């Protein structure tokens, strides 16, 4: 098999003023990582560092000069999304889960994300369906999806103990969403023949993943909007926070169900003090790599628990008879505020606004377009 790309990267570690800084040496082939992976973005993966460390730390920018030791990703566990790769191929911009702010985006040494250093990246065709593995430790793997017959994939190699593990870039769900995980051997692969990638079969989800939220639906069957996005009720005309940052929904009193508007994972399901009452917050990962959280308030009852994976259309709770449901979509899991999102913000125009370090998106826009407004 012919080598398509040969990458030689080395690591220089400098200790200064108690802050570790990493400046990987330049290599003539390092831009090849950019050309190999950049056209595959966004890439869903998990941290599998070359060193085998249980945590990896981000950097302030793509130069990889200033490392943030106060922040980290738990390796072999947290599912993350690569949204950009530096031109020199050394750094990856990554969105990852954060207990403090919900989702954080930082730069990482790309070798900590895809587990590659001295590596040959070769393009192959799959001649059969191949189960792809997620490394939960050096010796244990769990299923992470499937490469379908006929797909064109990119393969690297990595030594794990006495075993060679092959980090693999392959498409999932659609040709615009990709994943990096790995296989144990090259059985079922042939050198790339130039054939186009076959349609992708549905893939399995890892145990802590969120399915891509690429299709949205109304959260009630007979959805009646009683207060629209940006509405200014008469009671708030003199208030600094006058504009509604959600939609209020009523529906047929014979059907009180409230359903997940898209695939996702429940991040909060609880009773909170104040006007919001019973609330549910669901995390959704979009096909463009962005992350959103749908927020439901004033529920009469809750049908899910924190950590549950939910599918679009699955019941998450019920309305209280005669009570509307407040439905918002935001970019931040505001756990520090007890998930008690505000319902109004200062005057604004358009389909999004930022207030209190939280971006609110027009739910009607998202339901209509299956994506977040820019």
Q: Which of 99-113, 134-148, 226-240, 276-290 has the lowest mean pLDDT?
A: 134-148
Backbone region of residue 287 per phi and psi (left: phi > 0; alpha: psi in -120 to 50; beta: other values): alpha
Q: Judge if pTM exceeds 0.85.
A: no
pLDDT, mean of residues 256-284: 91
Residue 173: pLDDT band with limits 50, 70, 90:
low
- Give the angle subtended at the CA of 274 by the CAs of 372 and 359, to the nearest 5°: 20
Which residue's entry shows tokens 């950009």? 84
Average pLDDT of every residue of the chain: 78
pLDDT, mean of residues 265-286: 90
Number of H helices, E strands in the chain: 3, 30
Cα 113 from Cα 53, distance rounded (Å): 11
All structural domains of the chain with their residue ranges: 1-203, 224-369
The pLDDT tens digits of the residues spanning 302-361 come to 999 888 888 888 999 999 888 899 999 999 988 767 788 999 999 999 999 999 889 999
Cα 374 from Cα 361, distance rounded (Å): 9
Q: 348 by DSSP, 3-state: which? A: coil
The pLDDT tens digits of the residues spanning 84-122 come to 888 888 888 998 877 777 778 899 988 888 766 545 577
Backbone region of residue 292 per phi and psi (left: phi > 0; alpha: psi in -120 to 50; beta: other values): beta
Q: What is the pLDDT of residue 52?
A: 65
Q: Between 255 and 252, whose confidence is greater?
A: 255
Q: What is the pLDDT of residue 41?
A: 80
Q: What is the pLDDT of residue 335?
A: 75
Residue 215: pLDDT band with limits 50, 70, 90:
confident
CATH fit for domain 224-369, picks 2.40.50.1070, 2.70.70.10, 3.30.470.20, 3.50.50.60: 2.70.70.10
Residue 228 pLDDT more than 50? yes
The pLDDT tens digits of the residues spanning 54-90 come to 788 999 999 999 999 999 888 767 778 888 888 888 8
């Amino acid at each position: 098999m012919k080598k398509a790309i040969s990458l030689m990267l080395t690591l220089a570690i400098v200790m200064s003023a108690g802050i570790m800084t990493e400046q990987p040496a330049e290599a003539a082939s390092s831009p090849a990582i950019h050309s190999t992976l950049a056209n595959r973005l966004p890439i869903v993966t998990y941290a599998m560092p070359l060193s085998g460390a249980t945590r990896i730390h981000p950097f302030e920018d793509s130069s990889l000069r200033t490392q943030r030791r106060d922040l980290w990703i738990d390796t072999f566990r947290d599912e993350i999304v690569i949204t950009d790769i530096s031109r020199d191929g050394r750094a990856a911009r990554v969105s990852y889960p954060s207990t403090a702010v919900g989702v954080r985006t930082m730069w990482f040494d790309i070798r900590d994300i895809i587990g590659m250093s001295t590596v040959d990246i070769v393009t192959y065709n799959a001649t059969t369906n191949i189960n792809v593995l997620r490394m939960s430790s050096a010796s244990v793997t769990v299923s992470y999806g499937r490469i379908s017959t006929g797909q064109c994939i990119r393969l690297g190699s990595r030594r794990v103990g006495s075993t060679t593990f092959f980090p693999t870039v392959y498409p999932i769900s659609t040709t615009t969403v990709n994943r990096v995980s790995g296989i144990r051997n090259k059985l079922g692969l042939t050198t790339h023949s130039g054939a186009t990638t076959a349609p992708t079969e549905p893939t399995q989800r890892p145990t802590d993943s969120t399915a891509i939220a690429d299709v949205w639906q109304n959260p009630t069957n007979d959805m009646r909007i009683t207060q629209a996005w940006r509405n200014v009720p008469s009671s708030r005309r003199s208030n600094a926070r006058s504009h509604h940052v959600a939609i209020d929904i009523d529906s047929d009193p014979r059907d009180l169900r409230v359903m997940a508007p898209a695939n996702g994972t429940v991040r909060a399901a609880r009773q909170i003090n104040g006007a919001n009452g019973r609330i549910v917050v669901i995390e959704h990962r979009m096909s463009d790599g962005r992350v959103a959280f749908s927020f439901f308030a004033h529920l009469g009852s809750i049908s899910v628990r924190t950590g549950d994976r939910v599918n679009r259309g699955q019941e998450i709770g019920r309305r209280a008879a005669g009570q509307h449901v407040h439905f918002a979509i935001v970019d931040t899991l505001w756990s520090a505020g007890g998930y008690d999102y505000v319902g109004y913000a200062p005057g604004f125009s358009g389909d999004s606004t930022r207030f209190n370090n939280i971006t609110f998106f027009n739910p009607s826009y998202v339901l209509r377009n299956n994506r977040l407004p820019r």
